Amino acid sequence: MPSLAATDTRSIVETAVRIRVFEAKLLELFQGGSLSGTVHTCIGQEFCAAALHPHLRKGIDAFFATHRGHGHYLAYGGPEDALLAELMGRAGALCLGRGGTQNLCFRRFFSAGIQGGSAPIATGYAWAMKRRREGAIAVAQIGDGTLGEGTLYEAFTFAALLGAPVLFLLEYNGWAQSTDVRTTTPGDVLQRASGFGLDVDWIKDDDPDQLHEHLGRVVSKVRRGIPFLQVVETRRLMAHSKGDDNRPRDLVESLWRADPLSRILDEDESVPAFEASAKESLCRIVSSVQESPTLECQFDCSLPLSNEEVESENIRSDADEGNEYGKVSEELNRALHAMMTEHPEVILIGEDLLDPYGGAFKVSRGLSSRFPEQVFSTPIAEAGIAGVANGLALAGMRPIVEIMFADFATLAADQIVNFAAKFHAMYGGRITCPVTIRLVSGGGRGYGPTHSQSLECLFLGIPGLRVVAVSHRHDPGRLLSHVVLHDEAPTIFVENKLLYASRPASRPPLDLENQAVVRADGSYPPLYYTHSRKQADVTLVTYGGMAMVAEQAMQRLIEEYETRFDYVILTQLWPLDVDEIVDSVGRTKRLVVLEENTPDYSVASAVISAVAQRISGGFACRAVGSHPVPLPSVRHLEQEVLPSISRVVEAVVSIL
């Protein structure tokens, strides 16, 4: 054991002791009923944090921790009282009681409880810092169990491709919750990472001074843009969570005997005195936190607050008379070119984006040639793509993700649902994640059951997400630009692939008139069309590519039945706002909702339910959508499954 006289070593040991005292107190508080839920302590692994963080610049370097991240939070400089208040649900809580023990945010420290998910986010964050020449690094703490997550290896790929200054810190204690990792992790851990082009190393934490010096060299290397996997062999002395430890007793006893911090406490007389002082100080903090008021629940926290008004006239395609539009794909492309010209923080990331291909539907054509530093054409790795974009957004960039087909969004769902959607509320409103995810959605092209789905419905009802859909009556460029540049919420931007070849409409449909709609909270108003001189018979609601079907059906109904309509094209599918629909149905007493998805659990069912809850009198309603079978590849069979003009006509006639 090296001498503890050295200043660096003394500081490292004191940090480790303070971490252990804190973690032990949490277990005590949990046993006493002052904490609830779960507690994952890092007792036995303190030197992993204590030896590393002196080499990091607090608030400049970023750290992404796991569920077992308290030690790193404290070593990073996170205040003890704010964390205790977070866990106890008291005033002054770090994340307003929403993050708890696993999900913390302090300056550039972030922790999250889902294994592997933070690895690509840390990579994206590191890339953003590299682009800004900050000379900073990001550290992604991972555990043994993370080695089974495919997202980790996607992060390795992106880190190597981008030369991102990211350090993957694997704290190897031999156990993944209750499982001996030797039974689940075949092969050589270092070879796994080195095969992706990362520099790798393995070191034990039993000599804190040696560990500290070694990690200093590693951090210096990462600062030069060399991604690195550092394995630190350590031990977990306590249970995975609270008291759920089923490891053999003799194994745990042997780990305690090998614990370097316990050995230092036994051998150096000055360290127990520091431990006693740390315990006394922590007790005072606990008493102060326990006397603080309890937190109150806030229900309006999911999306970042906004006072910006959005007017339907500013996102409607016929807003400027005489405006000549190109095809929808061309308008989106033009908007991307304009944004990248004026805003270098706009980054496009996705598969096959490079010229001359320019994306599967050519929306990205020409961008990589003009803006090579703002376009990243990636491997096939949707989780990694979304994760890197999340990291870019957290770091202040305005990333746009192109998901080639909406069907592939299932591979990115963890990053969208458990990270992008959660960050703002989970971290107490401290940060935003303004990532835009473009979904190429829908059928009608004969692409078959895995390339034709309207999976935007998977993301409806997720707090913290916004879902917006473009139609041929929207100005696609304006709508996309507003989402990317002005919306602080993570947003799913739905582009029905049949729209790409159409042109935005230049005048209102049929004999209807535009009705201006304004939203003052940053959400996106629907496009609303009525007839000022005639009472409508039916309220017809749709979104996206189905607006073209809806209007053809209305034309037939007007000619054959003289039916009059109120017509609503939803812009924002979630959060759902039905004010104009309620107003219309209150007059027409009839509602038909058309969408491309199967309508039983969908936008249609949500709209009908929301309207029914706000209208006291009855109304007739129908939902029209695809039949509940996977879309066939053969075109005539596909058309049988998709909603048709005749089915819309039948639905309307049935309630007249």
Model pLDDT, residue 5: 44
Model pLDDT, residue 4: 43
Q: Residues, the chain, total?
A: 656
Domains, the chain, in order of start with CATH, read: 7-290 (3.40.50.970), 310-317+326-499 (3.40.50.970), 513-518+526-655 (3.40.50.920)
Angstrom CA distances, 163 to 128, 199, 441, 592, stand at 11, 11, 33, 53
Q: What tokens were used for 275?
A: 């431990």
Preceding amide of 356 cis, omega within 30: yes
The reported pTM is 0.95
Question: 158, 381 in Cβ contact below 8 A?
Answer: yes
CA distance 402 to 391: 16
Return the closest-CA partner of residue 329 out of 294, 356, 365: 365
Q: What is the pLDDT of residues 112-157, one digit of tens each?
A: 989 899 999 999 999 999 999 999 999 999 999 999 999 999 999 9
- Tell me what the pLDDT averaged over the chain comes to: 93
Model pLDDT, residue 7: 54
Model pLDDT, residue 322: 57
Return the closest-CA partner of residue 545 out of 490, 470, 627: 470
Q: What is the pLDDT of residues 22-76, one digit of tens each?
A: 999 999 998 888 888 888 888 999 999 999 999 999 999 999 999 999 999 999 9
Residue 107 binned pLDDT confidence (cut-offs 50, 70, 90): very high
Q: Which residues contact 336 (CB under 8 A, 6 or more apart)?
A: 346, 348, 363, 364, 367, 400, 480
Q: Is the pLDDT of residue 534 over 90?
A: no
Q: What is the pLDDT of residues 424-458, one digit of tens each?
A: 999 999 999 999 999 999 998 989 999 999 999 99
Model pLDDT, residue 3: 43
Model pLDDT, residue 181: 87
Angstrom CA distances, 254 to 249, 259, 347, stand at 9, 9, 51
Residue 320 binned pLDDT confidence (cut-offs 50, 70, 90): low
- HEC per residue, 415-456: HHHHHHCCHHHHCCCCCCCCCEEEEEECCCCCCCCCCCCCHH
Q: Which residues contact 577 (CB under 8 A, 6 or more apart)?
A: 519, 523, 525, 526
CA distance 34 to 29: 5
Q: What is the pLDDT of residues 354-376, one digit of tens each?
A: 999 999 999 999 999 999 999 99
CA 19 to the chain's CA centroid: 30
Residue 486 binned pLDDT confidence (cut-offs 50, 70, 90): very high
Model pLDDT, residue 2: 42
Q: What is the pLDDT of residues 145-198, one digit of tens each?
A: 999 999 999 999 999 999 999 999 999 988 788 888 888 889 899 999 999 999
Model pLDDT, residue 361: 94
Model pLDDT, residue 1: 40
Question: 536, 581 in Cβ contact below 8 A?
Answer: no
Q: Is the pLDDT of residue 84 over 90?
A: yes
Angstrom CA distances, 586 to 114, 561, 564, 618, 654, stand at 46, 22, 15, 9, 19
Least confident interval from 332-341, 388-397, 489-498, 506-515? 506-515
Preceding amide of 575 cis, omega within 30: yes
Phi (first) and psi of residue 474, to 5 degrees: -90, 155
